[in-house]
Every structure is written in structure tokens, then in C-alpha cells.
Chains A and B, each alone.
Chain A
Amino acid sequence: MRALVVVALVVAGCGNPLVTAYAVRQGAAASLADVKDAFVKADDAQQKAIVDEGPDRAGVEVKLTRYREHVQAPIKQAIDDTTAALAAADTAIETAKSAKDAGMVAALGTLWARVGLLVSAIKLTGLDIPLPSFTPAPAAPPSGK
């Protein structure tokens, strides 16, 4: 579904790739931030559950450490990596001087797919992270060529 939205945006923005780039960038940014917030919330709940269920202090520490190494750290790394990709795309858009410079649209499509994959990966860990809702962009204006 998200891929279709991206494709539709790219098609709609054919006359002005920069406008498409704006839409994809803001959609990916807002969704990734929502994913991050949901992860932080789920992470907190997960650690609290470990403490609640733990048999003793040493046992809880072992479980917390295992959780942090095998679940928390990889997800945090994935979010950090995607954030870096987003920041790079943001810089590319801000420095683009014309629609011809906006070849980053494809890269933004990849970024968007990455956000989706990240959510899927988090869901596979059993943490209940909701899928991001894409913020629909306003219709692309007619080409200003």
C-alpha cells in the first residue's frame, strides 16, 4: 500500500520532481518519528514487564541485558541508520536548485520502503509497534516549466 502511495506521488509529481520529493520526505520523516516514539513506549513497557516477571534481581538483570543486546540495540541501530538516511535526503532536497537536481526521489522511495521494513522488523520482535500512517501530500501543482 505504501509503495503504491509512493508510486502515485512520483507519477503525480512527474511535472515537478521536487514537489514529489517534499511529499515523500515529510511522509517518511513523520512516520519514522512515530515509529521511534512507539518503539520507545514499547521498550519501556517491555523492560517493566521483565522486572515484574523477574524471579530475583540477578535474574532480572540477565533478562534485561539479553533484551537490550538482542532486541533493543538492533532496533535502535536500525532507527538511527534510517534517521541518518532521512537527514541525508533532507540535505539533498534542501540543496537541490531545480527539478533537474531532484533525482533523489528514487532514493526517497527507498527511504520510505526502509521505514516500512523497519516497522516489519520491529513487529517480528513481538513489540507492538503500529504501522505508520502516511501523511497524504497535497496534490502536486501543475508543472512550473
Chain B
Amino acid sequence: MEELIAGFMLAVGKVLVNVVQAENASKEDAARLHEESAAITTAALARLFRLDAEIDANNAAAEEAADKKFGPLEQGPAK
């Protein structure tokens, strides 16, 4: 009977240890996911914030190519 109780207590202890380990792993995973997600988002936003400059560059390149092909506009680019 005593052995049975000891075995039961041991089993409960093991379950408790597993639960604690799962809790810690969950927090670590969440922290890791947060770091990864934040890094990806920050890098993406940096790319997105370059849109103005990239569009301006495209516009300038088109104007330059047109000037090169046909000669410059007499009154400058249309606004």
C-alpha cells in the first residue's frame, strides 16, 4: 500500500514537472516568436518607407530616358 502511494506521488510529481516545463517552454517560444516577428516587421517597414524615393527615381529615370530619346521638353515636364 505504501509503495502504491509512493508510486502515485511520484507520478503526480512527474506530471507537475512536465507542466512547469511546458509553461516555461511556452513563454520562451512566445518570446522567440515575438522577436522574430518584430524583426521581420521592422525590416518590412523600412522597405516600405522607401516607396517615395523609389517612385521619384522611376519618374526621374523616365524623364531622362524621354529627354535622351526625343530631346528635352521646351516647357519642362508637365506638373
Contact = CB atoms under 8 A, between A and B. Distances in A.
Interface residues of B, number: 38
A47 B48 contact: no
A65 B75 CA distance: 14
Nearest to B61: A44
Interface in A115-145: 135, 137-138, 141-144
Nearest to A18: B30
A83 B48 contact: yes
Interface string B5-35: 0000000000000000011011101100110
A51 B78 contact: no
A68 B66 CA distance: 15
A52 to B, nearest CB: 8
Interface string B48-68: 110100110011011101110
Contacts of A44: 58, 61-62
A90 B41 contact: yes
A61 B58 CA distance: 14
Contact of A51 (B30, B38, B44, B66): B66
Given A22-B34, A144-B30, A33 B48 contact: yes
A47 B61 contact: yes
Contacts of A51: 62, 65-66, 69
A33 B43 CA distance: 9
Nearest to B34: A22
5 contacts: A33-B45, A37-B47, A47-B61, A54-B70, A57-B70
